[in-house]
Structure 1
Amino acid sequence: MRTRRSWAHPLTGVAAALVLVLAGCGGDGEGDASPTPTGSAGDAVPAERCRANRDAGPITYVTGYQYQASASILDPVAAKALGYFDEVCLDVTLQPGTGETAQNAQLVAAGTAQISSMSGQSDVIVNVANGVDVTAVATFGHVPIATLMTEPSVTDLKQLDGTTLGQKGALPVAIDGMLRAAGVDVASITQVVVGYDPSVLVRGQVQSLTGYKSNEPLTLAARGDTVKQWNPEDYGVPGSIATTIVNPAFLAEHRSAVEDFLRAQLRAYTYCETHGAECVGYAADLAQTGYDEDHNEQVWKTEHDLVDSSLPAGEVLGQIGVESMRSEADFLLARGQIEAVPDLAAVTDTTVVPALYDETGELRWPVR
């Protein structure tokens, strides 16, 4: 059952042999209740649903940033490598994103891609507020991914008044909200654009540095550097990780395909919980060169832990809610990031993910 819990994850992916020898769609065996990379095309859905999914045609999924081992990137990569998309009769192409989530939203709205990952619900809200027509169907984590790093000697954020802060082109709205909530005189801080080498902080070139919990702190720790992280959620700032958007027309015409894409993704997520190195290897194969597998294993572990620890009580993994979207929208409005809160009920389908689970909270696989 994938509802919020405080204990460690049980072992998943227990090996079991599938005794199905099938051709085409709609096998009639029960399969294995745990994710295993041994299924065949059409194993997980009835013949009629298989045909409907094939009729949806090729599906392009744009990742948030390349093949980084983040939530909503590593799990679709693994779903394809493990054959889960084949098992639900989907023809999925993975397209690496550039990190420009506005571009992802525009690709989906135009129908150039059918499904994509956004860094969180706030990205969706801003794009929708700017007139981009997409529908949010899933969210994995319910906590901001942004963090602010300082030297350990900083014990109060007000100590940053009059200092220099390094950021990547703009101060993340969650960090701005945290600083203001802590009583920091943000106007007194000199903001400079820095590259992607976080050692500028420990070298004293900046006194604080924005980043992602699953990236820069890991790089610094690997170097043996100790820094302090200041996290927006500790100051009441809302946020989220890994929100899935779809083209509204595609969702309306091919709902089963969207459902089964997410079903395969969620199954792969569970598999990667206890097979992280294997799943990172699939991403490394796609990236081909220059892929730091050790770092990406830490990225996955960090984001997986953030997703798991922030899952709201009584909800299933991936579930999205209008109210959680609204809390982020209200925050964005207060921070001047949007001029008005869009009709969130109209651009959020909260029913897709819960329908993938049975009454006990177990993911339905296979679909019968």
Structure 2
Amino acid sequence: MPTRRTLRLTQVAALAAAAALALTGCSTASSSAPAASSASAISAERCAANKAAGPITYVTGFQYQASASILDVLAAKKLGYFDALCLNVTIQPGTGDTAGNSQLVAAGTATLTDVGGDSDLLLAHSNGVDVTGIATYGQVPITTLMTATSITDLKQLEGTTLGQKGQLPPEIQAMLVKKGVDVSKITQVTVGYDPSILPRGQVQSLTGYKSSEPLTLKAAGDTITQWNPEDYGIPGTFGTVVANPAFVKANATATQDFLRASFHAYDYCLTNASECVGFAADLAGGGASYDVDHNVQVWQTETALVTKSEPAGTPLGSLNTTLMAKEAQFLLDSKQLTALPDVSTFTDPSFVSAIYTGTDLIWPAP
């Protein structure tokens, strides 16, 4: 897995004491974690501004799963990167209801969250949920539809039962519509995260994530067919981070530095996956209920998708407005949207662009 370079500021020595310098490390590819410290790695002025932003609550997309946009945030907290930037961050595990998470952020109950992909942000906006998109990790659909190998045409799913996690992922619905499936003829039921219901025949199709359920089924020796939206020309994204609009408007540096610390931890976890997954396991309470090996696979699968889908010359987290426009169009074509929105009114790419020089993350903050 390739790692990103971290651009260290030449004025660090003037901004921080030697204890703070220990936090920054020489490179995110270091084999050992930088020691945590209460010392600030940024200027007194920026530190004061970040402290004035107050408590920042991040709700994860799903529990403490080792996904991109979850594990790196957990690691940034554990490694002291948020502290180094004078940010007071609390992480709350989400239930998987990303639509509900966006409502928490819109209401100000939470500050930031991962809503899934850009299509989920588009749908939230169309439903009147006021959040601002500030970053996107992966620029390919993370969702997949799993069936038994006996299904060779998606139209065979008409008259059968499909299991989903509370709502049919928009990319999956668009794929079905494009293949001529009458979705109204499919019985949809809400299911949990145990994919064994598919090989047991309790459902005939099952939505999931490329980095999760297929890995579990493969480990159990079950053979399935995956139907991936991108194979049918359906665009998609994952790891879309949204924030409370009032917060980001009032706290630009804190918003930048939340992403800065998270992406710095992302780089570290690329080459220290087991250690970072250990942080998540500790938060989850440890024990057999947290599958460390599986979660290492989750992280490695998702970061590989991020790397593969990232346009050349763009840094991690960049909002791709061209891709978002394509997602909006497929949502319109599949009748999930009634009109094309002006995405500039609820996205802000400035926070990501402010923390990079080219594709080099600036660490610490200027």
CA displacement, residues 241-278 of structure 1 (integer Å, 9 cap, x when unaligned): 11111111211211000000000000111111111111
- Equivalent in the alignment of 1:16: none
Greater CA deviation, 39-48 or 318-327? Answer: 39-48
- Equivalent in the alignment of 1:135: 132
Deviation of 1:341 (Å): 3.1
**Contact 1:31–1:366 at 8 Å: present in 2 too?**
yes
Cα RMSD between the aligned structures? 2.7
- Equivalent in the alignment of 1:49: 46
**Contact 1:129–1:341 at 8 Å: present in 2 too?**
no
- Equivalent in the alignment of 1:315: 314
Give the TM-score of the pair, scaled to structure 1: 0.87
Give the TM-score of the pair, scaled to structure 2: 0.88
Aligned counterparts, 1:219-298, within 5 A: 219-289=216-286, 290-298=289-297
Structure 1 position 349 matched with structure 2 position 348? yes
Give the secondary structure class of the aligned counterpart of 1:174: helix
- Equivalent in the alignment of 1:366: 364
**Contact 1:59–1:91 at 8 Å: present in 2 too?**
yes
Deviation of 1:288 (Å): 0.8
**Contact 1:146–1:175 at 8 Å: present in 2 too?**
yes
Greater CA deviation, 115-124 or 174-183? Answer: 174-183
Deviation of 1:315 (Å): 1.3
The one-letter code of the counterpart of 1:59 is I
Name the CA distance, whole Å, in 1 between partners of 2:306 and 2:215: 17
**Contact 1:141–1:310 at 8 Å: present in 2 too?**
yes
Give the secondary structure class of the aligned counterpart of 2:61: coil
- Equivalent in the alignment of 2:339: 340
Pick the aligned partner of 2:71 from 69, 74, 79: 74
CA displacement, residues 192-249 of structure 1 (integer Å, 9 cap, x when unaligned): 5444332232233443322111221111111111212110011011111111111112
**Contact 2:23–2:81 at 8 Å: present in 1 too?**
no
CA displacement, residues 78-111 of structure 1 (integer Å, 9 cap, x when unaligned): 0000000011111111111122222222222222
- Equivalent in the alignment of 1:33: 26
- Unpaired segments ≥5 residues, structure 1: 1-7, 14-18
**Contact 1:25–1:45 at 8 Å: present in 2 too?**
no
Give the secondary structure class of the aligned counterpart of 2:362: coil
The one-letter code of the counterpart of 2:259 is L
**Contact 1:12–1:271 at 8 Å: present in 2 too?**
no
Give the secondary structure class of the aligned counterpart of 1:210: strand
Deviation of 1:42 (Å): 4.4
Give the secondary structure class of the aligned counterpart of 1:233: helix
Name the CA distance, whole Å, in 2 between partners of 1:271 and 1:259: 18
**Contact 1:26–1:45 at 8 Å: present in 2 too?**
no
- Equivalent in the alignment of 2:106: 109
Greater CA deviation, 160-169 or 224-233? Answer: 160-169
Give the secondary structure class of the aligned counterpart of 2:90: strand
The one-letter code of the counterpart of 2:27 is S
Deviation of 1:142 (Å): 0.9
**Contact 1:11–1:274 at 8 Å: present in 2 too?**
no
Going from structure 1 to structure 2, the CA distance change for 1:148 and 1:58 (only over 3 Å counts) comes to: same
Structure 1 position 172 matched with structure 2 position 131? no
**Contact 1:43–1:366 at 8 Å: present in 2 too?**
no
- Unpaired segments ≥5 residues, structure 2: 7-11
Going from structure 1 to structure 2, the CA distance change for 1:99 and 1:272 (only over 3 Å counts) comes to: same
Going from structure 1 to structure 2, the CA distance change for 1:115 and 1:203 (only over 3 Å counts) comes to: closer
Deviation of 1:163 (Å): 4.5
**Contact 1:25–1:42 at 8 Å: present in 2 too?**
no
The one-letter code of the counterpart of 1:327 is K
Deviation of 1:367 (Å): 2.7
- Equivalent in the alignment of 1:5: none
Give the secondary structure class of the aligned counterpart of 2:296: helix
Greater CA deviation, 35-44 or 120-129? Answer: 35-44
Greater CA deviation, 274-283 or 112-121? Answer: 112-121
- Identical pairs, percent: 58
Name the CA distance, whole Å, in 2 between partners of 1:172 and 1:114: 24
**Contact 1:108–1:116 at 8 Å: present in 2 too?**
yes
Structure 1 position 146 matched with structure 2 position 139? no
Structure 1 position 9 matched with structure 2 position 7? no
Name the CA distance, whole Å, in 2 between partners of 1:29 and 1:293: 29
Name the CA distance, whole Å, in 1 between partners of 2:314 and 2:16: 37
Deviation of 1:169 (Å): 4.3
The one-letter code of the counterpart of 2:169 is P
**Contact 1:147–1:175 at 8 Å: present in 2 too?**
yes
The one-letter code of the counterpart of 1:259 is Q
